[in-house]
Amino acid sequence: MATSSSGASSGSSTLRSSSSSEDFQPILDERKRKRMLSNRESARRSRMRKQKHLDELMAQVSNLTNHNNQIHTSINVTTQLYSNVEAENLVLRAQMTELSNRLQSLNEIIHFINSSNGVLQNDTNFDQAAYCHPHHQLNDDSLMNPWNFSTTNQPFMPSADMMMY
């Protein structure tokens, strides 16, 4: 009998655990279903955050690309302006060299004329009073004598107006 009673008790215990498992199964299934729904919702929110972050990064790439293009355009315009200024500088340097050479030649002529004054004073057609007086009237003789210029005593200085051709 002991076996039967222990068998019965063990069988009833099995029946009870079976029945208690059956009682908890719907609760466990409900918890499992809720956990799955929660996990799905969490995964959906995570995908939405990732998509939003990706969209923000794509917008940032677009903005940076536009900014980069503007910088390249600005660099190209600045480079073109620099090239134009550099070309203009070359022209101005060439003009300055040419004008400096002209100035040097004119100053040499003035120096030659000033050093030749002793020769001109011995010339019979040279009117020293007309040459020395700053407000003298030009006559035909002074126009015919190329060495008779009262304004040649001053060195020739270039002005800004001379740069324009």
Q: Is residue 130 part of a domain?
A: no
What does the alpha-carbon distance between residue 4 and residue 12 come to, in Å, rounded to a whole number?
12
What does the alpha-carbon distance between residue 62 and residue 64 come to, in Å, rounded to a whole number?
6
Among 154, 121, 123, 127, residue whose Cα is nearest residue 139: 127
Q: Is residue 76 part of a domain?
A: yes
User: What letter would DSSP give residue 152?
Assistant: G
As for how many domains the chain has, the answer is 1
Can you give the pLDDT at residue 164? Answer: 53
Amino acid at 88: E
Give the 3-state secondary structure of residue 111: helix
Can you give the pLDDT at residue 119? Answer: 56
Can you give the pLDDT at residue 104? Answer: 96
Q: Is residue 17 part of a domain?
A: no
Structure tokens at 160: 């800004």
Q: Is residue 66 part of a domain?
A: yes
Burial of residue 54 (number of CB atoms within 10 Å: 0-12, 13-18, 19+): exposed
Q: Is residue 42 part of a domain?
A: yes
Q: Is residue 77 part of a domain?
A: yes
Largest CA distance in the chain: 175
What does the alpha-carbon distance between residue 140 and residue 130 come to, in Å, rounded to a whole number?
12
Contact 113, 152 (CB under 8 A): yes
Task: Match 């996990």 to its residue by tokens.
Answer: 39
Q: Is residue 82 part of a domain?
A: yes
Task: Match 């040459």 to its residue by tokens.
Answer: 131
Residue-by-residue pLDDT tens, the chain, 165 positions: 444 444 444 444 454 555 666 778 888 889 999 999 999 999 999 999 999 999 999 999 999 999 999 999 999 999 999 999 999 999 999 999 999 999 999 999 999 999 887 555 554 455 544 545 444 444 445 545 555 555 545 555 556 555 554
Claim: this prediction has a pTM higher than 0.95 = no
Q: Is residue 7 part of a domain?
A: no
Contact 77, 132 (CB under 8 A): no
User: What letter would DSSP give residue 139?
Assistant: -
E strand map for 35-165: none
Domain of residue 60, residue span: 25-113
